């Protein structure tokens, strides 16, 4: 379940579901569950629509359905910054 007060269709809610999903390998919690670890190339293939358009079929698990409007990693990062995430 989502944390209280988090609307299901917002970027933070989508990110929350993905980072807690066993199907998603590109975004995960750090050891203390206080930060995110992101594998850029895997995220592009696994979650961003540009990654789905280029192969990805037949290699490994089925891709996660397109979740974000972003099609480029830099757009994804801008969303993270917009919601208060930082390096």
Rg (CA), the chain: 13
Report the pLDDT value the prediction gives residue 66, as an integer from 0 to 100.
Answer: 55
Q: Residue 34: count other Cβ atoms within 10 Å of its Cβ.
A: 7
Angle of helix 11-19 versus helix 73-82 axis, rounded to 10? 110
* Averaged pLDDT of the chain: 80
41 has a pLDDT exceeding 70: yes
Percent of the chain with pLDDT over 90: 44
Is the alpha carbon torsion for 6, 11, 16, 21 positive or negative?
A: positive
More confident call, 5 vs 77 = 77
Q: How confident is the model at residue 70 (pLDDT cuts 50, 70, 90)?
A: confident
Report H helices in the chain. 11-19, 40-46, 49-53, 73-82
């Amino acid at each position: 379940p989502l944390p209280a007060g988090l609307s299901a269709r917002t970027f933070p809610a989508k990110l929350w579901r993905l980072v807690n999903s066993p199907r998603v390998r590109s975004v995960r919690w750090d050891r203390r569950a206080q930060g995110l670890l992101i594998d850029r190339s895997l995220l592009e293939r696994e979650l961003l629509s540009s990654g789905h358009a280029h192969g990805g079929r037949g290699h490994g698990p089925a891709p996660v359905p397109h979740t974000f409007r972003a099609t480029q990693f830099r757009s994804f990062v801008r969303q993270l910054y917009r919601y208060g995430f930082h390096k």
